[in-house]
């Protein structure tokens, strides 16, 4: 029986939720949770305890939205009623609001399993409150240092929380990220690793934005036999011997098909699985690998995993293709931190086969709270590979000028850079600049993507974001 | 035809001390040299690297994570300390940001009472604070011997928990117009001694404050070649636009 306090909190939160939706105040994704938690701080704990199949939490700097969506599709087609924070509200208040939405005023929850994409900083609290049966940690890169602090501090908080999980819980970790793989040592919970084994995707250079390149045990510099990007790769410590754990689930082969799709061969303890993934880039292949690993651990049928991933559509703005009524293709890809931005640029340029080919590009950089108010990260991202392929580039957003300076110092001539802080005008200019039939690539930060989305919805080209996938 | 001017820049611990886009400062110096036909050679100084400081013209020391800083502090003081100190007294041009700035001072007193020694070349000391000082920052231009453009204010982003206090042997780089500055108390931002500039400004500092980048390049050229060297002007429209947008946004 629910306590009176929880009942009050539930009633208040739900009322606010219904009100914000009725009054059309936008997504209304956090406020109800915030208010309800003021009345009953244990509400998330109380409500998640009633989910018969428990809770799955997934975190990481990059790829959490995409991977969680892959999992949601998988769980649904596996027959579960899934509660998923698909609008991306991934703070503790957002998780609370998500479960509020599925709770009727009386009676049981309209869901069997909770699947929560969880903010990096919110993970320890989320673990404490939801007592998850499964936690997935995907990667850890520098991101919004003004908000999260240093990556090492974050990793320490994660480790502390994971140590509390019982033997019935399962932790799934990326073996290729030393900061993440290390989390699996000494846990009571069961641990499964996934990792990339296709050496053809390694780069030769060590990356300047590698954050976790020092041995977690003794502080020595890791030696990498393969580096995929940033500090992701095959590493070992020449001093104490600490090394990448051998993953149980491996990406044995990956064939990228430009900006369109990729073909994966995944090896797991019982066999192999071939997947046609309709998403480009190494990082999306690793997202699919993580989702597949969770699938194997939960006992999903390999054929189902194959089918669901082959039919996957990315979330709004992650990698989204739309067309203007005139038939102009637009590719939207979110950028929000140096590693993600560098990988997105690698994806854009790797699809180019002819030297003369140009990329029509619009970059939208905002510095609102959700983007991170510090845009120093632009200088840690590799924009240099773009310069050979730009004829003209438009920069927009509250930090359009900063982006312009970054491009100039990456080697783009000042005359090629057009500054247009207003997003609506920038989109119009960018479309005008794009040759007929060519794709316009738009790379926005998070809030810029929401604004872009609103702008495109106004034109009737896309749905408003909170209706996405509903 | 004059000989091509060449400058050598030593970057201290690029792997450990590379947080918050500080490498943008190196990119800015390298490009602004390249656009003028000056060759800038960057030498990474890693743990246990031997370097002849007397052959260097510029040095850069960025900020790092706490773990990175702990790893390099010992090497910095033992391996490089004395020789780098001599070169700096001799006029080596140096820019140090955040953690690098703190390590040039006398000491860092952590909030749990640990006293971590620094090089002591800058007459400053740092005391750890609980609340991090985070946000955009505008500083008045106060470099001595102001050539006209040095009067421009400069902008950056600060993110530090240490409070740095100045002694009498340094002069402030500028006065905080918006933001916290070195210690959130006396409005001082950054410290200058001989040809060393230390401060907390990320952003990174140099790309959007081209006057500072050129100040460093010019000092290094004059020290190496001839006190009458001048820099050919560059078109800084985009840089100054970025700088002024922030200055205006913050109401200066």
- In Å, how far from its chain's centre is CA A452? 19
Q: Phi/psi of residue B139, each to 5°?
A: -125, 135
List strand residue ranges (DSSP E) for A319-468, in order.
319-323, 329-333, 360-364, 393-396, 417-419, 440-444
- Stretch (H or E) spanning A348: helix A338-350
Q: Which tens digit of pLDDT belongs to each residue from A217-244?
A: 888 888 999 999 888 999 999 999 899 9
Is the Cβ pair A401, B19 closer than 8 Å?
no
Q: Among the options B98, B125, B166, B199, which is catalytic? A: B98
Q: Does domain A1-138 have CATH number 3.40.1190.10?
A: yes
Domain with CATH 3.90.190.20 in chain A: 318-467
B111 falls within a domain:
yes
Sign of CA dihedral A219, A220, A221, A225: negative
Domain count, chain B: 1
Is the Cβ pair B202, A409 closer than 8 Å?
no
Which whole number is the average pLDDT over B210-225?
95
- Give the predicted TM-score (pTM) of the model: 0.81
The pLDDT of residue A148 is 60
The chain B residue lying nearest A378, using CA atoms, is B21
Q: How far is A146 from chain B (nearest CA, A)?
A: 7
b/e code A25-47 from CB counts within 10 Å (16+ = b): eebbbbbbbbbbbebbeebbebb
Is the Cβ pair B238, A153 closer than 8 Å?
no
A-chain CB neighbours of B28 within 8 Å are 409
Chain A contact present for B18, CB below 8 A: yes
The pLDDT of residue B1 is 47
Q: Which of A206, A239, A233 is nearest to A220 (CA)?
A: A239
Interface test mutation site (partner A, options B65, B131, B240, max chain A beta carbons within 10 A): B65
Domain with CATH 3.40.1190.10 in chain A: 1-138
B56 is an active site residue: no
CA atoms within 13 A on the CB side of A93: 14
Q: Which tens digit of pLDDT belongs to each residue from A350-365?
A: 877 777 788 999 999 9
User: Which residue intervals of A1-117 are DSSP H helices?
Assistant: 4-22, 31-39, 43-48, 64-77, 92-101
Q: A317 to each of A161, A383, A390, A448, A454, how far by Cα in Å? A: 32, 20, 22, 10, 12
Chain B contact present for A221, CB below 8 A: yes
Q: Which residue has the tokens 């794009």?
A: A434
Say if CB A381 and CB A345 are below 8 A apart. Answer: yes
The pLDDT of residue A149 is 62
User: Which residue intervals of chain B are DSSP H helices?
Assistant: 23-34, 66-75, 81-89, 99-104, 205-208, 210-224, 237-249
| Non-local CB neighbours of A388 within 8 Å, separated by 6+ positions | A355
Provide the residue range defining the domain that includes B229. Answer: 6-249
* Percent of chain B surpassing pLDDT 70: 94
Is the Cβ pair B65, A151 closer than 8 Å?
yes
Sign of CA dihedral B151, B153, B159, B164: positive
Is the Cβ pair B241, A417 closer than 8 Å?
no
Q: Can you tell me the distance from the alpha carbon of A16 to that of A281, in angstroms, rounded to the nearest whole number?
A: 41
Q: How far is A322 from chain B (nearest CA, A)?
A: 32
Domain of B113: which CATH number?
3.40.50.880
Chain B contact present for A152, CB below 8 A: yes
Q: A207 to each of A202, B14, B124, how far by Cα in Å? A: 12, 11, 34
The pLDDT of residue A28 is 55
List strand residue ranges (DSSP E) for B92-209, in order.
93-97, 107-109, 115-117, 124-139, 154-166, 171-178, 188-193, 196-199
The pLDDT of residue A259 is 78
| Non-local CB neighbours of B2 within 8 Å, separated by 6+ positions | none
Chain B contact present for A213, CB below 8 A: yes
Is the Cβ pair B65, A150 closer than 8 Å?
yes
Is the Cβ pair B134, A146 closer than 8 Å?
yes
Give the residue ranges of chain A where pLDDT is below 50: 466-470
Q: Which of A240, A248, A247, A236 is nearest to A178 (CA)?
A: A236
Q: Can you tell me the distance from the alpha carbon of A233 to that of A196, in angstroms, rounded to the nearest whole number?
A: 8
Chain A contact present for B129, CB below 8 A: no
Q: Which of A64, A68, A22, A14 is nearest to A43 (CA)?
A: A14
Q: Which residue has the tokens 């700097």?
A: A61
B1 falls within a domain:
no
Q: Is the pLDDT of residue B146 over 70?
A: no
Chain B contact present for A146, CB below 8 A: yes
Is the Cβ pair A414, B235 closer than 8 Å?
yes
- At residue B55's C-alpha, the angle toward residues B53 and B61, to 5°, is 45
Chain A contact present for B34, CB below 8 A: no
Which whole number is the average pLDDT over B82-91?
96
Strand partners of residue A114: A55, A83
Window 254-313 of A: residues touching B by CB (8 A cutoff) are none
Q: Is the pLDDT of residue B147 over 90?
A: no
Q: Which of A412, A377, A385, A400 is nearest to A451 (CA)?
A: A400
Is the Cβ pair B21, A150 closer than 8 Å?
no
Q: In the structure encoding, which two tokens stand for residue A190, read together?
A: 């069961």
Chain B contact present for A209, CB below 8 A: yes
Chain B contact present for A173, CB below 8 A: no
What's the CATH number for A318-467? 3.90.190.20
B98 is an active site residue: yes
Complex-level ipTM: 0.94
């Amino acid at each position: 029986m629910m306590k009176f306090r929880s009942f009050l909190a539930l009633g208040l939160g739900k009322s606010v939720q219904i009100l914000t939706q009725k009054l059309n105040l936008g997504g209304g994704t956090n406020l109800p949770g915030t208010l309800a938690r003021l009345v009953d701080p244990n509400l998330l704990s109380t409500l998640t305890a009633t989910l018969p199949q428990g809770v799955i939490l997934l975190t990481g700097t990059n790829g959490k939205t995409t991977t969680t969506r892959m999992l949601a599709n998988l769980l649904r087609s596996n027959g579960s009623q899934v509660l998923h924070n698909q609008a991306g509200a991934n703070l503790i208040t957002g998780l609370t609001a998500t479960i509020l939405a599925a709770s009727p005023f009386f009676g049981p929850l309209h869901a069997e399993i909770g699947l929560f994409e969880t903010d990096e900083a919110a993970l320890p609290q989320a673990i404490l409150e939801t007592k998850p049966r499964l936690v997935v940690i995907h990667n850890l890169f520098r991101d919004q240092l003004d908000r999260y602090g240093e990556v090492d501090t974050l990793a320490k908080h994660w480790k502390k929380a994971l140590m509390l999980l019982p033997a019935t819980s399962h932790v799934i970790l990326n073996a290729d990220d030393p900061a993440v793989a290390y989390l699996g040592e000494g846990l009571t919970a069961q641990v499964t690793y996934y990792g990339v084994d296709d050496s053809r995707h390694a780069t030769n250079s060590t990356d300047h934005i590698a954050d976790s390149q020092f041995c977690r045990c003794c502080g020595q510099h890791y030696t990498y036999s393969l580096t995929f990007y940033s500090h992701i790769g095959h590493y070992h410590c020449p001093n104490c011997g600490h090394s990448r754990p051998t993953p149980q689930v491996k990406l044995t082969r990956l064939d990228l098909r430009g900006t369109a799709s990729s073909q994966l061969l995944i090896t797991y303890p019982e066999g192999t699985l071939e997947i046609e993934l309709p998403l480009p880039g190494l990082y999306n292949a690793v997202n699919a690998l993580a989702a597949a690993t969770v699938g194997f651990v939960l006992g999903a049928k390999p054929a189902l995993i194959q089918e669901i991933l082959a039919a996957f559509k990315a979330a709004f703005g992650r990698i989204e293709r739309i067309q203007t009524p005139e038939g102009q293709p637009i590719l939207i890809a979110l950028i929000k931190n140096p590693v993600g931005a560098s990988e997105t640029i690698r994806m854009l340029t790797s699809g180019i086969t002819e030297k003369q080919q140009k990329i029509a590009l619009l970059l939208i950089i905002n510095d609102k709270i959700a983007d991170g108010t510090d845009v120093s990260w632009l200088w840690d991202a590799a924009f240099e590979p773009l310069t050979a392929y730009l004829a003209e580039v438009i920069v927009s957003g509250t930090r359009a000028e900063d982006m312009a300076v970054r491009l100039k110092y990456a080697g783009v001539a000042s005359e090629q850079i057009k500054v247009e802080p207003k997003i609506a005008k920038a989109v119009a200019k960018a479309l005008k600049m794009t040759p007929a039939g060519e794709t316009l690539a738009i790379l926005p930060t998070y809030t810029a993507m929401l604004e872009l989305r609103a702008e495109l919805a106004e034109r009737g080209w896309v749905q408003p974001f909170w209706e996405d996938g509903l | 035809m004059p000989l091509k001017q060449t400058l050598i820049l030593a970057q201290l611990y690029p792997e450990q001390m590379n947080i918050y886009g500080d490498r943008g400062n190196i990119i800015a110096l390298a490009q602004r040299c390249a656009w003028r036909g000056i060759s800038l050679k960057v030498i990474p100084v890693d743990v246990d690297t031997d370097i002849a400081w007397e052959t260097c013209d510029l040095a850069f020391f960025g900020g790092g994570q706490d773990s990175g800083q702990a790893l390099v502090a010992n090497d910095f003081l033992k391996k490089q300390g004395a020789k780098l100190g001599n070169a700096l007294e001799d006029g080596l041009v140096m820019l140090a940001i955040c953690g690098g700035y703190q390590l040039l001072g006398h000491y860092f007193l952590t909030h749990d009472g640990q006293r971590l020694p620094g090089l002591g070349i800058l007459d400053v000391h740092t005391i750890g604070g609980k609340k991090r000082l985070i946000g955009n920052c505008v500083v008045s231009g106060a470099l001595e011997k102001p050539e006209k453009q040095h009067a421009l204010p400069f902008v950056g982003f600060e993110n530090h928990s240490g409070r740095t206090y100045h002694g009498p042997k340094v002069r402030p780089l500028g006065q905080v117009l918006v933001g916290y500055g070195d210690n959130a108390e006396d409005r001082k931002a950054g410290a200058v001694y001989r040809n060393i500039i230390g401060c907390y400004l990320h952003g990174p500092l140099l790309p959007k404050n081209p006057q500072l980048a050129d100040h460093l390049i010019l000092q290094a050229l004059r020290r190496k070649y001839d006190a009458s060297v001048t820099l050919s002007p560059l078109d800084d429209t985009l840089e100054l636009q970025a700088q002024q947008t922030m200055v205006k946004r913050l109401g200066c």
